[in-house]
């Protein structure tokens, strides 16, 4: 067995030796397209969403020369009608493109290693030199088996800051394999590619137009296999004695639309980040497990981009609002970001924002991402963003100090900045203003909207994170009413009841807006 050609099943066996959530139903989707015009698949999703686990399961299942039956017995794929037909029935070419980051010419390096593996497995087979597709075709002829390609992180060479020529060489290499009518038809059983970004486009055309793409924005049938589903996380929470509400608050928020091909039912899959959930269960504690220096630097770079409306959109999303995004012109390149819409679309593909295809809007999905985004915004070098962060910090301190005039003035500035709707129609619009103004609260608090408490719903509750000494904030909002009415409602309906168990001080914050005077007024009392 080789490193890249027919590598065996050791990788997936190692995964199964730990705690594995069964995602082998994905293999059935690939089985269904083997040998068909739809046999080329590209499924993209952010880091930490299980791309490598999926690739290793496919490699173990298809690789000839390995006996993987025992690995898959009892798993979902063992109940698929095509299980026996395709099990260990193909040559497999497995490429993890992150392993080629240091190669000056990726296409040449991949060619050399594939040829080395094929010669090692079949030393006497005549393999034509000069073109990788010819050598692979000879290998197929000698073995009598077509190839299943599994290419993990296909876009890694494009994310590197290498020359445009070397990036185009890598795309051309893939075109040789998968847009070659003779080779693709005669030698390729299927190809499954993973990556962070969809296939790069030149203008409006895909560089590899024969691939069916399933992106993080539109995953279609692959939605249940993009991350952990609600039911899977509930089972993990029960097994590890974790608080499901805490897991939901920290790692939920990605809602992926798809159509079940068996029932034709339209569904929305609630998806969690596997790495974060599994880390929390293993450690017995929720927290920001996704954060890495690479992701943080990239995120801050995008926040700092000098595009009209981008900074306000990021701040508005951090405050809890949804922002409109036009995704159609993005060329799927990490280096060719030309507008605020491009930057926001990229943040959606990277998992920093969650995209709603129905409303064409994006929002911050959960507490883990909110914390990372807040750090990126707080360290932004863009002067406008830095000013908004400073003013939000001042607003939060004024709230703690019970400085009602300063709080009202801070909320008014957030309105003037355009971080929320320009025209107030109701308390929902006022809520958007307040959340934008309190973006600094993300460092200290978890934000909960319409929290059931006492005999009603508290508008916005800022609950201190574990170990943070800040007072809890219960914010009640009114439109064309006196702020005293907001405080009175909170007391009369006993909204503080839900917070009494946490054991710290509680501030009742009443904020109102008057349409005629265009004034914000605030009242703050200790509960």
SS3 per residue for 240-277: HCCCHHHHHHHHCCEEEEEECCCCCCEEEEEEECHHHH
Residues 205 and 91 in one domain: yes
Q: Residue 206 forms beta bridges with which residues?
A: 201
Residues 23 and 118 in one domain: yes
pLDDT values of the chain reduced to their tens digit, one per residue, 527 residues: 789 999 999 999 999 999 999 999 999 999 999 999 999 999 999 988 889 999 999 999 999 999 999 999 999 999 999 999 999 999 999 999 998 877 888 889 999 999 999 999 999 888 887 789 999 999 999 999 999 999 999 998 888 755 677 778 888 899 989 988 889 999 999 999 999 988 887 655 667 889 999 999 999 999 999 999 999 999 999 999 999 989 998 998 898 888 877 777 888 889 998 999 999 999 999 988 876 555 666 677 777 776 877 877 887 788 777 889 999 888 888 877 888 899 899 999 989 899 998 889 999 998 888 888 877 777 776 777 777 778 888 999 999 999 999 999 998 888 776 544 444 455 566 777 787 788 778 778 877 777 665 566 777 888 887 778 899 998 988 888 887 888 888 788 777 777 776 678 889 999 988 878 888 999 999 88
Residues 190 and 267 in one domain: no
Residue 471 has φ and ψ, to the nearest 5°, of -70, 150
**Number of domains the chain contains:** 4
Rg over alpha carbons for the chain, rounded to the nearest Å, is: 26
Asked, for residue 387, whether it belongs to a domain, the answer is no
Residue 218 has φ and ψ, to the nearest 5°, of -140, 80
Coil, strand or helix at 374: helix
| CA–CA dist 44, 211 (Å, integer) | 12
Residues 346 and 433 in one domain: no
Residues 109 and 183 in one domain: yes
Residues 401 and 364 in one domain: no
Structure-block tokens of residue 428: 């929902």
Asked, for residue 234, whether it belongs to a domain, the answer is yes
Is 43:192 a contact under the CB 8 Å cutoff? yes
Residues 257 and 335 in one domain: no
Residues 79 and 121 in one domain: yes
- Tell me the residue ranges of DSSP E strands in 326-440: 354-356, 361-363
| CA–CA dist 496, 508 (Å, integer) | 8
Is 519:424 a contact under the CB 8 Å cutoff? no
| CA–CA dist 7, 68 (Å, integer) | 12
CATH of the domain at 516: 3.40.1350
Coil, strand or helix at 512: strand
Asked, for residue 1, whether it belongs to a domain, the answer is no
For residue 330, give every residue at least 6 positions away whose Cβ sits within 8 Å of its Cβ, in sequence order, or none.
341, 342, 345, 346
Residues 422 and 515 in one domain: yes
Asked, for residue 219, whether it belongs to a domain, the answer is no
- Its domain, for residue 92, covers 10-214
How far from 349 is each of 192, 215, 216, 245, 272, CA to CA, in Å? Answer: 19, 8, 6, 26, 15
Coil, strand or helix at 525: strand
| CA–CA dist 135, 144 (Å, integer) | 14
Asked, for residue 383, whether it belongs to a domain, the answer is no
pTM of model > 0.85: no
């Amino acid at each position: 067995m080789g490193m890249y050609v027919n590598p065996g099943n050791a990788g997936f066996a190692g995964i199964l030796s730990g705690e594995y959530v069964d995602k082998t139903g994905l293999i059935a989707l690939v089985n269904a397209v083997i040998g068909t015009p739809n046999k080329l698949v590209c499924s993209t999703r952010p880091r930490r969403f299980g791309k490598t686990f999926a690739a290793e399961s496919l490699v173990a299942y298809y690789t000839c020369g390995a006996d993987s039956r025992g690995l898959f017995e009892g798993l979902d794929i063992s109940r698929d009608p095509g299980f026996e037909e395709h099990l260990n029935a193909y040559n497999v070419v497995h490429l993890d493109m992150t392993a080629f980051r240091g190669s000056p010419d990726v296409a040449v390096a991949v060619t050399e290693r594939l040829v080395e593996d094929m010669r090692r497995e079949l030393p006497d087979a005549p393999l034509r030199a000069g073109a990788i597709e010819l050598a692979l075709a000879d290998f197929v002829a000698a073995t009598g088996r077509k190839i299943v390609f599994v290419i993990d992180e296909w876009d890694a060479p494009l994310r590197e800051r290498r020359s445009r020529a070397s990036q185009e060489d890598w795309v051309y290499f893939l075109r040789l394999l998968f847009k070659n009518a003779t080779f693709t038809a005669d030698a390729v059983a299927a190809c499954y590619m993973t990556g962070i970004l969809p296939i790069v486009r030149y203008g409006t055309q895909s560089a590899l137009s024969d691939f069916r793409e399933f992106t993080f924005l539109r995953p279609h049938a692959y939605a249940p296999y993009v991350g952990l589903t609600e039911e899977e996380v509930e089972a993990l929470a029960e097994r590890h004695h974790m608080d499901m509400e805490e897991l939901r608050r920290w790692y939920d928020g990605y809602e992926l639309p798809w159509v079940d091909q068996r029932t034709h039912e339209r569904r929305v899959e609630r998806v969690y980040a596997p790495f974060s959930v599994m880390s929390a269960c293993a450690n017995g504690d929720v927290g920001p497990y996704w954060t890495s220096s690479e992701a943080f630097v990239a995120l801050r770079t995008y926040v700092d981009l000098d595009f009209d409306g981008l900074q306000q959109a990021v701040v508005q999303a951090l405050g809890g609002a949804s922002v409109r995004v036009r995704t159609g012109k993005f060329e799927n390149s990490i280096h060719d970001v030309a507008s605020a819409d491009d930057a926001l679309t990229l943040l959606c593909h990277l998992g920093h924002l969650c995209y709603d295809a129905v409303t064409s809007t994006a929002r911050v999905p959960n507490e883990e991402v909110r914390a990372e985004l807040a750090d990126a915004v707080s360290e932004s070098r863009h002067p406008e963003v830095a000013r908004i962060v400073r003013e939000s910090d001042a607003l939060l301190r004024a709230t703690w100090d019970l400085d009602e005039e300063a709080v009202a003035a801070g909320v008014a500035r957030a309105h003037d900045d355009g971080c929320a709707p320009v025209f107030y129609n109701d308390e929902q619009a006022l809520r958007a203003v307040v959340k934008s103004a309190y973006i600094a609260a993300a460092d200290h608090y978890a934000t909960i909207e319409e929290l059931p408490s006492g005999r009603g719903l508290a508008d916005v509750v800022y609950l201190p994170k574990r170990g943070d000494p800040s007072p809890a904030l219960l914010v009640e909002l009114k439109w064309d009413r006196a702020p005293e009415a907001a405080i009175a409602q909170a007391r009369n309906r006993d909204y503080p009841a839900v917070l009494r168990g946490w054991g710290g001080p509680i501030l009742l914050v009443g904020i109102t807006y008057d349409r005629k005077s265009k004034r914000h007024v605030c009242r703050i009392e200790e509960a």
